[in-house]
Structure 1
Amino acid sequence: MSKYKVALVGCGKRGGYHAEGFNANSDRFELAAVCDVDAGKLKDFAAQYNIPKTYGDAEEMLAAERPDVFCFATLPGIRLPLIELGVKYATRAIAYEKPIAQELSEARKIHDLCKASGLKVIVSHQQKYGPHWQKTKEIVDSGDIGEVQRIHATARSWISQLGTHLMDYMLWFNNRSPIEWVVGQNIGTQMLGDSHPSPDFTLGAIQYANGVRGIIECGAHAPRMNPGDNALLSLPFWTDSSVTVYGTHGYTQVVSGNGWRAMTKSSKGELLSGGGHFDPSYEQKPYLKDLADWLDGKIATHPCDGDISYHGFEGAMALFLSSLESRRVTLPLETIPDDSLIQRFRDTLPVSEEYRGQ
């Protein structure tokens, strides 16, 4: 069992969760260095998480430390240059935040580069490690709802914020059966200027190769699944996401901030339920332990590996293409548009105020 040296970029809230996760797996990882452009934040962060070395430049850190694992928790506008640095300095694995990119063209470059270099990649779709998500997956895999027929995913947040999580979790519940085609519609312009740019509301139909049909709703008009305060920027808003899996003999549902429920063959009409809520401090530890096991060769792949993360992102971007071009879009995409899909929405969508007053 090896121990892997880690270098981290990003001293924000998500960077803290990554640092917690690596330190919680201290028998598997050595968090050796951290980088941020904010010197004050960097100093405090290093002290809080007991990180011995600090840097103001990512390349300087990688050149000096030569880590096994390069982790970064930055906004999605900074993706490809950091991936290129990880490849340049021969890291064995890269762990980074979702979404994998802002644009489809950049995502394809990242995916192709990582595949060509042979390094392992994981993306932070770590909610699936939550106990209520694990219980829902257990129910699906047991066959107690029968053969899966349909998967319905919802999020009050827009698709570039939480939709890439949902695309990943739908693939996970469906045993990674690939997406064959999508049809999507997108409306609203308020969130096109967000750090995670997207139309305000996305509605899509997804056809999987095994015959399962998916439906996804993300953004301003998605149903509210979380009880309590749903104001934008409140915790219930950000954890108001769900996946419901319907089978031939029942269904099971998980809500990120509100547990799980199911009606199955064995429950004989009784509604089963249990607790659970979004807890990144808990989820990050097993997510990173699986990375160590993957590097060791103990598991064949990571549940959040680069291949499945790219496929889910490609599916989300195909929903954009479908809306922009008024057509069904088949996956995998043979041709990737060079232009910005987000800019095309800015140029064509009617101006709206979807999120104001929510």
Structure 2
Amino acid sequence: MTKYSAVILGAGGRGRTHIRAFLANSDRFELVAACDRDKPRMEDALKEENLSLPIYTDADEMLAKTKPDVFCFVTQPDVRIEMVRLGATHGVKAIAFEKPMAITLDEATRIESICREADIKATVCHQHKYAGHWQKVKEIVDSGQIGQIRTIHATARGWYWYYITHIVNYAMWLADFPKAKWIVGHTHGRDLLLDSHPSPDYVMGQVGFDSGVRMIFECGPLAPCLGCPDNIWVDAGAIVHGTEGFAEVIVGKGWRAMTKESGGKVIADPNFSLEQHNETDHYITALADWLDDDKKPHPCNVTNALHGYEICMGMLISSLDHRTVVPPVDRSVPVLERLRHELPAEPFTPEDPSC
């Protein structure tokens, strides 16, 4: 196995998680430098891990001087295309970055094109699929124990652009990444459209895939409460309905299923603990595996992420145009501007009373 050099940009919470993930994979990666505009913040982040690295405040300079194999950056979505261009300019082999890919579908499409044309193995951090309860549900689905997949209903009570690409990506992964044939959506509320991840208050959509599977997505306070009312960021999950049973995962509670083998009984893991799962560590391990072997593509690869992002934008465009959207989704539509101008002001978005 080859050991790859890596650099990290960003010393916020997720940036520190990635630092720890590279250290957990020290047999596969060597962190050689770090970057943040706030140098003391990065100094604190490295001190937490007893790590001594050169610290830069300019990503271009860091990449030029260190010439790493892997560029990992954790930024706000509006600067991601700029960082991807930098990585391509400096000839990195791989780029790992956070979701959502960008602010617009056009930018997301250009990011995928830059990586493909530069032969960069790029991943978008949809890391929850590496947690044990997601892996268990995937195992059940793949084993055929719930029969043929009919529908997947994936929900999150966090707001749209913080969470939607996660649940779309995981639902598609559970179904082996089919291609969308049609997309419909509903949106309302504009209070969160000025956020760093500008989002409608609530979005609901349905997507039909070429495999025959239908998927339903919900994001926002009207999404169902899954039993974690005190923390919207883990009150999310997906339920897969098959011809002979179901399997469900809830981010903050674990998994449960009814399968052919369970004889009509619901089975679950009674010892689930969210703290047991080092999701980002496994996500980074899979990047090393892909760098070693082209035949082991990362499930979070940028091409899969782009199709998920296209679906997310399709639901918004469907709601604005009051029509079914058929991919490829028109990337010239100014979705954010239209949401800001066309969504009516909502004085109140009620929450699911079950919470």
Q: Which interval holds the TM-score relative to the shorter structure?
A: over 0.9
**Dislocated runs of 4+, deviation >6 Å:** none
1:271 is matched with 266
**TM-score, normalisation: structure 2:** 0.95
Amino acid paired to 1:87: A
Determine the structure 1 residue equivalent to 2:325.
329
- Is 1:303 equivalent to 2:304 in the alignment? no
Deviations 1:320-342 (A, max 9, x none): 11111111111233x421x5311
Structure 1 position 104, deviation (Å): 1.2
Q: Is the 1:220–1:354 contact (alpha carbons within 8 Å) kept by the matching residues of 2? A: no
Farther-moved stretch of structure 1 (38-47 vs 301-310): 38-47
Give a deviation string over 1:31-81, Cα, whole Å, max 9, x none: 111111112102212222314110011111011111100001111122111
Does the 8 Å contact 2:229/2:235 carry over to 1?
A: no
Q: CA RMSD in A?
A: 1.6
Q: 2:234 maps to what in 1?
A: 239
Tell me by how many angstroms 1:180 deviates: 1.2
Percent of pairs with identical residues: 42
- CA–CA distance in structure 2, aligned partners of residues 59 and 141 of structure 1: 43
How is 1:243-258 mapped onto 2 (pairs within 5 angstroms)?
243-258=238-253
Task: List aligned pairs for 1:167-246, cutoff 5 A.
Answer: 167-229=168-230, 236-246=231-241
Distance in structure 2 (CA, Å) of the matches to 1:36 and 1:127: 25
| Letter in structure 1 aligned against 2:186 | Q
Is this contact kept in 2: 1:190–1:354, CA < 8 A?
A: no
Report the equivalent of 1:3: 3
Q: Confirm whether residue 106 of structure 1 aligns to residue 107 of structure 2.
A: yes
- Say whether the 8 Å CA contact 1:252–1:263 is kept in structure 2: yes
Q: Alpha-carbon deviation of 1:187? A: 0.5
Give the Cα–Cα distance (whole angstroms) in 2 for the partners of residues 272 and 14 of structure 1. 33
Q: 1:212 to 1:277 in 2, by over 3 A?
A: farther
Out of 324-333 and 170-179, give the one that drifted further. Answer: 324-333
Q: Secondary structure at the match of 1:214?
A: strand
CA distance in 2, matches of 1:162, 1:127: 11
The change in CA–CA distance for 1:355 and 1:39 in structure 2 (over 3 A counts) is farther
- Structure 2: how far apart are the matches of 1:146 and 1:116? 40
Inter-partner Cα distance in structure 2 for 1:81 and 1:281: 32
State the distance in 2 between where 1:36 and 1:278 align.
Answer: 30
Structure 2 unmatched runs, 5+ = none
Counterpart CA distance in 2 for 1:276 and 1:327 is: 42
Structure 2 partner of 1:286: 282
Q: Is the 8 A contact 1:127 1:280 kept in 2?
A: no
Q: Which runs of 5+ in 1 are unaligned?
A: 230-235
**Count, aligned residues:** 350
Q: TM-score, normalised by structure 1?
A: 0.94
The 5 A counterparts of 1:62-81 are: 62-81=63-82
Which deviations, in whole Å up to 9, do the C-alpha atoms of 1:276-314 show, x marking residues without a partner? Answer: 454597111111111001000174200111111111011
